[in-house]
Structure 1
Amino acid sequence: MTTDPTVITPPPSTTARAARSAVWTLLASSLLIKAAGFAWDFLGYYVADGLGYGTTAAGAALTAFGFGWCAGLASAGALTDRLGQRAGLSIVMALSSLACFALAIAESFPALLLVSFFLGMTMEIHRPAVSAQINSTIDSEAARTRAQSWLYWASNVGIAICAAAGGYLAHHYGYKGLFIVNGLACLGFAAVAYRVLTPRALTDSAEASTVTYRQVLADPSLRWITVVAVCGMTCAWGLVSVLPLLMTDDELPPTSYGLAMFANTITVLALTPPLTRLLVGSGDTLRYPLAPVLACGCAILGLGISLAALQHSTLGYAAAAVLLVPGEIAFSVALGAYISIHAPRNATGRYQAVLSGASAVAYLPPLGVALALSTGGRPLVAALLVGSSLIALAACRPLARSLRTTQQEQARPLPTAAP
């Protein structure tokens, strides 16, 4: 006698718990990968101080890194939307490990520029996949925003931990071993992603593959928030791009940079939970519109980093790093809210890639900062950073208008192209 095979499907509650567990695992992994991100955080110090090429050469390497960052994110977003979070994240983190290992053996300046470009390509390529997993797993707008905000928080805290620990380790043990540790951490993240995520269904992959970046960039709210993100992140990334150049110019050791970033980390840990609750609320919908929150964040970021440009002591740099924190939190909450509410489910990877690409563009100014530092000094650097913040504030007004007028359209999935 034969019987029909029975497929046992897990109860919905069990499936939901597993999906949420995967989200928290990815958030924890994102923090750890940033905490071990020595190749990304110490590239400038390694070129300028570790190999003795100087501040201008370090600015050039960081600029090459920024160009690579822009190039890598576009492909990561498309890869995530086409192949799904599991395949996309596993592949890109394996590539990240190769870039870190290459930095450990590169010493000539042309080789460093090339490696810096490829290292930049791997900087944030995990974020589209993690954001897509959050949006596909969590139903509530506010809950998605909180999770997206925790993703930004994890990155910020991880970067600060990396700077604090890496400054000490680099000073006493050199840089190359840190880069190898970074590569091993990337391989570990790839293994975790492959273990905890499930493959994407073929029907979902076919739908996502028909969405293009041209369709995504036709969204006016995405264009305006990208302008805000570029200018705001120019100030926010000053912690890891501008600050090392300024502190190197003051002949302060890497340990001083580590202390400044440690102060930033402690403040982020203390202020993120209460400020996130204040800005997002505890219900299913957001407490405040995202545009005013984003504007406040940009204003604080501009003030903090411009003050940092005028400092000359470890204490002064640490105080400026602390002042930046409320701006970082407000900025990350607003960007997380945008991805959570306005990114279509079949294009979350591309939307996140565009915003992360804005962060990459914001990483390009180090060469300009190095030149401004040598020509106009600290006041010119501060003026450039304030100007960037003011542009971000000005762009928040048309952003708010476009969000009001297109909210219903953005709530629907992007139309798929004809075969």
Structure 2
Amino acid sequence: MRTMRGWFRDTTGGLPVSFWYLWAGTLINRLGSFVLVFLAIYLTQERGFSASQAGLVLGLWGVGGALGTTAGGTLSDRWGRRPTLLTAHLGAAVMMLALGFARELWAVALGALLLGMFAEAARPAFGAMVIDVVPEKDRLRAFSLNYWAINLGFASAAILAGLAAEAGFLLLFVVDATTTVITALVIFLKVGETRRAPTVGGGHRGAGAPVGALRTILRDRVFLGFVTLNLFAALVFLQHISMLPIAMGDSGLSPTTYGSVIALNGVLIVVGQLFVPRLIRGRSRSHVLALASVVMGVGFGLTAFADTAWFYGLTVLVWTVGEMLNSPSNATLIAELSPAELRGRYQGVFSLSWQGAAAVAPVLGGLVREQAGNAQLWFGCAAVGGLMALAHLISGPARERRATLLRATAGPVVPVVAIRPPAPQAAEAAATAPAEPVGPAGDDDLPDRGPGRPVDPARGDGLPDRGPGRAPEPTGAR
């Protein structure tokens, strides 16, 4: 019992209260993430659209998501994390209801485009908030816990959505919109702005509007190289929602069987993800990411030999282990490669790799399967996994040097929240006092921070996450 208490304390202890509000919001939002999971079925069975028309609608969702992540990243840096999240969630709730009541194809297509835009605009702001409020030493645990909440919500949503659909598909849209509004309320009531004002003289304009931000990102070859590797990982990973159900159908297995097999992914993550941070703590992130790529490649490669439900289930369990190793290391590395004043934009560019893969993976997988065959598709996934592992080992040292440099050059910063100027009689004392970060009232619950550490206000919530149901990202962003 003592060992279990110690494990629980090591896993969850010491994190800011604001993080737990964000965590709770993520879980609530994911518990209601019904629509994207069932959208294709809804369009074809309830609305009578053809498969190609349904594909068009889903594609426009992805286009909207790409626009949303770009806009969300920029707004979270310029406007603030909190207002960006509030606008994104409230807009998504409204468009969710509008999509549920839409009848004509053009209205459904427009609704999907706008819903994807609002839903995915929350992702960069949310990621930036997590980085803002959680000290660097605790980010691996924080991202792992958030990832766990996403998958717990996704697994539960799949079951709840099936029950809700029996009462009518409109209920799916209503429940999804309701949980999104609840998430927005959590942000409004419990989460303060976390964007920090840049130091004076840092070559910035306005409130958090760095000069040449896009140019800075485009010149960051280390970061863009990492985003490219994630794009290839996503191209492999997203075959589980495009080509895997087709392969299982060719093996004579029903859609219900596919649902049961793919549910193993969420179950394994919910059970095992809490232990992963302790297993990889202190280990080279490049080595962990390389191992994750190999394991994921092997898991998808084994699909070439599968022809029964238990064998397909085994392949899912294997590549899920790779996913579990990849996700927390990915998240912490992106956090450390993002300059403080550009965190929202960096998160947005990284999210674009998922959006791009969501659009390309089904088409590319289908072409390879048609032209070369089913087995060659899965062998190709295994080969990509091996090449990615090699690329991580080669590029890893440069990423760690960049992360070390950013930590060393990060100066003290102050939050953008209103700060009252010192009284005239205190000006002289303030001028001679040592500088230190100033935080909003109520941050006493945070761990001790050294100079240059983010001052931690409360945080905001929610991702669409992956929002993707799991599509634009793993299961709803995994």
Flag whether TM exceeds 0.5 (same fold). yes
Please give the alpha-carbon distance, in whole angstroms, between the structure 2 residues aligned to 1:375 and 1:231. Answer: 20
The reply on whether 1:210 has 2:210 as its aligned counterpart is: yes
Per the alignment, do residues 385 and 276 of structure 1 end up closer, same or farther by CA in structure 2, a change over 3 Å counting? same
- Equivalents in 1 of 2:154, 2:357: separation in Å? 16
Equivalence map 1:253-268=2 (5 Å)? 255-268=256-269
| Matches of 2:176 and 2:152, distance apart in 1 | 16
Partner of 2:156: 161
- 1:133 maps to 129
Pair member with larger Rg: 2
CA contact (8 A) 1:245 1:370 kept: no
From the superposition, tell whether residues 56 and 134 of structure 1 become closer, same or farther in structure 2 (CA, over 3 Å). Answer: same
TM-score, normalised via structure 2 length: 0.72
Correspondences of 1:2-401 after superposition (within 5 Å): 20-51=16-47, 53=49, 55-139=51-135, 141-167=136-162, 169-170=164-165, 172-199=166-193, 203=197, 206-210=206-210, 212-244=213-245, 246=247, 255-280=256-281, 287-308=282-303, 311=306, 314-364=309-359, 365-373=361-369, 376-401=372-397
Q: Cα offset for 1:18?
A: 12
Measured in 1, the distance between the counterparts of 2:162 and 2:315 equals 18
Q: Which amino acid aligns with 2:26?
A: S
Cα displacement (A) at 1:241: 4.5
Identical pairs, percent = 25
Q: 1:199 to 1:269 in 2, by over 3 A?
A: closer
Q: Give yes or no for contact 1:232–1:302 (8 Å, CA) kept in 2.
A: no
Q: Deviations over 1:69-100 (max 9, x none)?
A: 22110111111122222211111111211332
CA drift at 1:330: 1.0
Note the C-alpha offset of 1:62.
3.4
Q: Give, in whole Å, the separation in 2 of the partners of 1:50 and 1:313.
A: 31
Distance in 2 (CA, whole Å) between partners of 1:157 and 1:186 is 17
Q: Return the offset for 1:25.
A: 1.4
Alpha-carbon separation, structure 1, partners of 2:17 and 2:99: 34
Q: Classify 1:203/1:275 alpha carbon distance in 2 versus 1 (closer, same or farther; 3 Å).
A: closer
1:143: how far off?
0.4
How far the C-alpha of 1:390 sits from its partner, in A, is 4.2
Checking the alignment, whether the CA contact within 8 Å between 2:164 and 2:171 is kept in structure 1 is no
Q: Secondary structure at the match of 2:192?
A: coil
Q: Compared with structure 1, are the counterparts of its residues 167 and 266 closer, same or farther at alpha carbon in structure 2 (3 Å cutoff)?
A: same
- Residues 1:278 and 1:332: Cα distance change in structure 2 (over 3 Å): same
Give the letter aligned to residue 84 of structure 1: G
Shift of the 404–143 alpha-carbon distance from structure 1 to 2, 3 Å rule, reads closer
- Aligned-pair RMSD on alpha carbons? 3.2
Distance 1:216 1:168 in 2: 45
Q: Does the 8 A contact of 1:164 with 1:258 survive in 2?
A: no
- Whole-Å Cα distance in 2 between the matches of residues 153 and 375 of structure 1? 38
Distance 1:363 1:58 in 2: 15
Give, in whole Å, the separation in 2 of the partners of 1:309 and 1:332: 25
Offset at residue 106 of structure 1 (A): 3.6
State the TM-score, normalizing by the size of structure 1: 0.81
Partners of 1:260 and 1:314 within 8 A in 2 = yes
Structure 1 residues 115, 250: CA separation in 2 closer, same or farther (over 3 Å shift)? farther
1:279 offset after TM fit, Å?
0.8
Q: Distance in 2 between matches of 1:48 and 1:248?
A: 18
Seen in structure 2, the aligned counterparts of structure 1 residues 290 and 18 have a Cα distance that, compared at 3 Å, is: closer
